[in-house]
Amino acid sequence: MSQFGCDKCWSSEASNAWKAVTSIPIEEYLIDESHYIVSIRSCPSCSQRYLQVTTETVDWKDGEDPIFRTIIPIDDEEQASLTANKPPKTSVLEAIGPGRRSLKYGWPKGEEPSTYWGTGVYVGLHD
List contacts with Zn ion (CB under 5 A). 5-6, 8-9, 43, 45-46, 48
Q: How far is the CB of 45 from Zn ion (least distance, A)?
A: 4
φ, ψ of residue 91 in degrees (nearest 5) = -65, -35
- Dist. CA 89–CA 95, nearest whole Å: 10
Q: Which is nearer to Zn ion, 9 or 51 (CB)?
A: 9
Q: How far is the CB of 77 from Zn ion (least distance, A)?
A: 18
Q: Which is nearer to Zn ion, 44 or 98 (CB)?
A: 44
Q: Which is nearer to Zn ion, 47 or 114 (CB)?
A: 47
Q: How far is the CB of 43 from Zn ion (least distance, A)?
A: 3
With CA atoms as reference, report the closest residue to 97 among 70, 121, 124, 69.
121
Contacts of residue 23, Cβ cutoff 8 Å, sequence gap at least 6: none
